[in-house]
Amino acid sequence: MKKKTLLLIMVTSIIFLTGCWDMVEINQRIFPYSIGVDINEGGDEGKYLVTISYPNVNAIGKNPSQEEQVYIISTTATSIFEGSRHLATRVQYPFYFKHLRVLVLGEELAKDEVLVRQVMDGLNRDFAINKKVQVAVAEGKAKDLIETKTERQEVIEGTIFSLLINDKASARFTSQTLTDFIKSTDANGVALVPKAISKKDEIKISGGALFKKYKFIGYIGELENRAISMVKEKVNRELVETEHNGVTLSYSITDLKSNKKLITTEEGMKIRISIETEGALQEYILEDRPTINNDEILNSMERAVEKQLKKELEKTIEVLQQKYNADALGIAEYLSKFHPRVWREVEKDWDTIFPDIDFEVSVDVKMRRRGLVR
């Protein structure tokens, strides 16, 4: 009786056991780490030109069997996913986008709001794609950027991805993930994406591309990007150079705090931006000059750096207000969070109000360290 009962339990349990019926071995998948999307200039076989790069697994390891580290293929299609299906007929295994690292938008495609929305919406809805994908805009074609072969090509993650995540040591560009891009656009109507430049055997990430309501409207330089990063408190370490008594003065920022304050006046809305920094003296010629132990000299240096940073901030604000009418500083987000009543009053007319806002900028610089040489 016990044997029959045990046998019945074993047979019944088999019914509820599941197998890996759809399992695919890791060596039977292709893992792209970069996708470039351009406008198909021909337009006959789809509006997009999709370029995918993926590592050659046979070139990885101590004893690689092949020299070519990266494969790059392109096709025209009506969407990124249709493009991947087209390309799947030309490669040995199917694509698996779980480990996708970088999305590069071509300059001409980025100018089309509808196409950008379609690309972002498709990637955001797909459950397999990591939403931390880094977004960049190519100065020119995304295909040309991805096809650039550098001398220091990283096989696993790719040169572009390695450069994009390296903004922690500099504020000359601001890394932007797919999620951040969508959130920033929804909150402020504006997103700032790194600009990628391809020159011969080198890729450079410099400055940023401004998007307003999912449409590329223009580029900003490295110093303007730094000013925006300071206002949004996204500066970790940065080097500021200015002139002091005819000599180049280098100041290394090690800590930064930013504060925004709404001031209502009879003339209208005013935003006060206060920046406080701490850092170290990085470089300054001492020959035939007083020692930096002199507090008067040190204070004078701090004022020189304050003047330089304030000038950069005011110039950047002017560019954002008058040239682009783009709230990349996050003022709309600040008002909606901390002054909701005011935001409800100005939200509908924000495009006409933002260019006329009065900004008051103050910068406080402290040199806490002066290095080994005094």
pLDDT digit string (tens) for the chain, length 374 residues: 667 777 777 767 666 665 555 555 656 677 888 899 999 987 667 899 999 988 876 656 555 555 667 888 898 988 888 888 888 788 777 788 888 889 999 999 999 999 999 999 988 888 888 888 999 999 999 999 988 876 555 544 567 887 887 766 567 888 899 999 999 998 888 999 999 998 877 888 989 999 999 999 999 999 999 999 999 998 878 889 988 888 888 899 999 999 999 998 777 889 999 999 999 887 665 555 555 556 788 898 899 999 999 999 999 999 999 999 999 999 999 999 999 999 999 999 999 999 999 999 999 999 877 654 55
Q: 128-164: b or e for each residue (b if 16 or more CB lie within 10 Å)?
A: ebeeebbbbbbbebbbbbbebebeeebbeebbbbbbb
> Would you state the pLDDT for residue 345?
93
Tokens of residue 182, six digits:
């969508």
Domains and CATH numbers, the chain: 29-220 (no CATH), 225-369 (3.30.300.210)
Residues in the chain: 374
> Would you state the pLDDT for residue 20?
58
Q: CA-CA distance, 300 to 294, in Å (whole number)?
A: 10
> Would you state the pLDDT for residue 23?
56
Q: Residue 367: which residues within 8 A CB-CB, separation 6 or more?
A: 251, 279, 280, 281, 298, 301, 302
Torsional sign, CA 288, 292, 296, 302? positive
Q: Residue 81: which residues within 8 A CB-CB, separation 6 or more?
A: 122, 126
> Would you state the pLDDT for residue 336?
93
> Would you state the pLDDT for residue 274?
97
Q: CA-CA distance, 68 to 90, in Å (whole number)?
A: 18
> Would you state the pLDDT for residue 103?
94
> Would you state the pLDDT for residue 82?
86
> Would you state the pLDDT for residue 48?
92
> Would you state the pLDDT for residue 304?
93
For the chain, first and last CA: distance in Å? Answer: 94
**Bridge partners of 259?**
274
Q: Residue 298: which residues within 8 A CB-CB, separation 6 or more?
A: 292, 367, 370
* pTM metric for this prediction: 0.83
**Bridge partners of 239?**
252
